[in-house]
């Protein structure tokens, strides 16, 4: 009882800690049912460490989003999870919060491995780990291809509790014996559909085998294509399935599909931009060359273009 009283933030003497937090300005932007249709749970309901609750509230999160309500209690029970939810609905914190709760800063080894397909996303995810865990004394390291291997090796001489990165680099560090994963009890795969593409899948299999035999595996993705199936059958015993995808797009977004010949694409885009009032837009392309070509054409057409490739 004493330890519960010490941990629970609901006891009377705990009230003051919440008032002393520096919270960001309230987010007043319009929210759709994708994030408002909750069961009415509170972060306090999960009996999280107070230091973690402080990080959550200081980030401006008041209540768990629907995917967080479903995933946090299950991940805390050490069950394997397959979670499908739309992008932008809070999946990242849905796995980071229980991972932080289950990490013991007194144990100086890697306890959680978060695999991500791209460097940009790995950096963003590690930033969220650091923000939510800022009162917990947890060391989070991000390690991805395209950066100095030597620097990563040096950083792993110091204790790391949570390792976030792309599969190739982490496997390299693990095979060199520098990243020791034998006691890593939780393996998270974000954007699992991309991680389990033919390019990454063999690396993933090896990495899973490097982790503790008792490891828990949680897959998060907006889509679960068939490629996930064989991995699931091999490695993910009795997963708890969460599916919040009644349709693929966020509510409030209407999709149109223009069926055009390859050579008409740029013209079609140009027509859209001249006929509609578009202040800002994001155009996704499937290759770097295509991004550059489109940027040149749009620039010539008088549009301000910002290039970004992953």
Residues in the site for ligand ADP, rule: CB under 6 A? 61, 64-65, 68, 85, 87-93
- Report d(CA 133, CA 100) in Å as an integer: 7
Least distance between ligand ADP and beta carbon 68 (Å): 6
Least distance between ligand ADP and beta carbon 35 (Å): 7
Least distance between ligand ADP and beta carbon 56 (Å): 8
Decide whether 116 or 181 has the Cβ nearer to ligand ADP: 116
Task: Give, for 83, the enclosing helix (H) or strand (E).
Answer: strand 81-84
Q: At what angle do helices 167-175 and 201-210 cross, to 10 degrees?
A: 40
Decide whether 64 or 165 has the Cβ nearer to ligand ADP: 64
Contacts with 159 (C-beta within 8 Å, 6 or more apart), sequence order? 108, 109, 139
Q: List, as own/partner pairs, every contact residues 228-232 make where C-beta atoms lie below 8 angstroms and the sequence separation is at least 24, other chains included.
A: 228/82, 228/192, 228/193, 228/196, 231/196, 231/201, 231/204, 231/205, 232/82
Q: Measured between alpha carbons, how far is residue 146 from residues 201, 264, 277, 294 in Å? A: 20, 36, 39, 26
Decide whether 242 or 269 has the Cβ nearer to ligand ADP: 242
Least distance between ligand ADP and beta carbon 281 (Å): 20
Decide whether 34 or 152 has the Cβ nearer to ligand ADP: 34
Decide whether 35 or 136 has the Cβ nearer to ligand ADP: 35
Least distance between ligand ADP and beta carbon 255 (Å): 18
């Amino acid at each position: 009882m004493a330890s519960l009283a010490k941990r629970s933030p609901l006891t009377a003497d705990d009230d003051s800690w919440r008032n002393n937090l520096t919270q960001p300005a309230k987010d007043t932007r319009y929210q759709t049912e994708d994030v408002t249709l909750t069961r009415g749970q509170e972060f306090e309901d999960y009996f999280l460490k107070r230091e973690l609750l402080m990080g959550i509230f200081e980030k401006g999160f008041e209540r768990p989003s629907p995917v967080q309500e479903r995933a946090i209690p299950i991940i805390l029970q050490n069950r394997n999870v397959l979670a499908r939810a739309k992008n932008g609905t809070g999946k990242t914190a849905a796995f980071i919060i229980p991972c932080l709760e289950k990490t013991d800063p007194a144990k100086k080894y890697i306890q959680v491995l978060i695999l991500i397909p791209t460097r940009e996303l790995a950096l963003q995810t590690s930033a969220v780990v650091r923000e939510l865990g800022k009162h917990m004394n947890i060391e989070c390291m991000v390690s991805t291809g395209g950066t100095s291997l030597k620097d990563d090796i040096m950083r792993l001489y110091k204790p790391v509790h949570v390792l976030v990165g792309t599969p190739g680099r982490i496997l390299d560090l693990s095979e060199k014996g520098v990243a020791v994963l034998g006691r890593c009890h939780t393996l998270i795969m974000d954007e699992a559909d991309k991680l389990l593409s033919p390019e990454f899948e063999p690396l993933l299999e090896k990495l899973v085998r490097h982790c503790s035999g008792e490891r828990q595996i949680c897959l998060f993705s907006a889509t679960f294509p068939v490629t996930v199936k064989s991995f699931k059958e091999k490695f993910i015993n009795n997963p708890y399935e969460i599916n919040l995808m009644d349709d693929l797009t966020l509510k409030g977004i209407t999709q149109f599909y223009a069926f055009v010949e390859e050579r008409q694409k740029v013209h079609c885009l140009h027509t859209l931009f001249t006929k509609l009032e578009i202040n800002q837009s994001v155009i996704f392309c499937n290759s770097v060359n295509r991004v550059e070509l489109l940027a040149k054409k749009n620039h010539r057409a008088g549009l301000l273009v910002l290039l970004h490739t992953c």
